[in-house]
Amino acid sequence: MGTVRKRLLAPVIAGILGVAWIGPAAFASYTVLHPERLRMDAAGMGEPVQIPGADGVSLAGRWHPVAKPLGTVILLHGYGQDKTQMMPAAHFLRQARFNTLAYDARAHGDSAGTMTTVGSIETQDLSKVLDWLTVKGVHTNVGALGYSMGAATAIYCAARDPRLSAVAIEGCFSTLDRLLGVAFPVFFHLPSFPYGPLSVRLTEWQAGISVARQRPV
């Protein structure tokens, strides 16, 4: 009887341990890819525009041209924020005679999309934003100012799209893998190991990206 109980108990314990391991990792992965939306008042940032993203996702932006511009700066907010994070920079740049275009990244703010990739697909979106500017006749002296995820997006895009002639960044992560490892104990109050590695794999599986290859700096 004791042997039978042990045989029955072993898979039960294994199941409990599995849930205790997989559950938090899965929750963390889902939370990373589906950030809570922040929607702040963007009045004063310019004309509301809708820009088609890489896969047709509509990106909500604000376009503010100035008279006799010296150039155009695309403003890219950080993870979990929206375009209003870049409002002070937009005001400063317009005073310096630069057109500004700020937009919400996919799955952020008022933009469409249900999942972020923290810079991967967002890079393709930025190229589509450059397409939109080109159609408007804006195709020279175009730069980007990005913070955090926006900084990574700007770096990735500048390496691939020559239309982006200058980049300024702030608060960019070095590798997405390392960022997730640091974020796990801070935001989820659990140790990076053993939860972190599984969470990274689940994130890759859900988003279809390679976390290890996300190395902007």
Measured N-to-C along each axis, helices 192-207 and 176-188 cross at an angle, to the nearest 10 degrees, of 120
Identity of the highest mean pLDDT range in 11-25, 27-41, 100-114, 202-216 = 100-114
d(Cα 184, Cα 189) in Å, to the nearest integer? 7
Q: How far from 45 is each of 1, 41, 42, 194, CA to CA, in Å?
A: 74, 9, 6, 44
pLDDT score at 12: 60
Confidence (pTM) = 0.89
pLDDT score at 41: 95
pLDDT score at 39: 95
Q: Please state, as a whole number, how many other Cβ atoms lie within 10 Å of the Cβ of residue 129.
A: 25
Task: Tell me the pLDDT of the chain averaged across its residues.
Answer: 90
- Contact (Cβ atoms closer than 8 angstroms) between residue 51 and residue 133: no
- Contact (Cβ atoms closer than 8 angstroms) between residue 116 and residue 153: no
Residues 47-70 have pLDDT tens digits of 999 999 999 999 999 999 999 999
- First vs last C-alpha separation in the chain: 61
Domains and CATH numbers, the chain: 2-33+175-213 (no CATH), 47-170 (3.40.50.1820)
Give residue 213's pLDDT band: very low, low, confident or very high (50, 70, 90).
Answer: confident
- Closest by CA position to 103, among listed 129, 136, 142: 129
- What whole-number percentage of the chain has pLDDT above 90? 65
Average pLDDT over residues 22-40: 90
pLDDT score at 65: 98
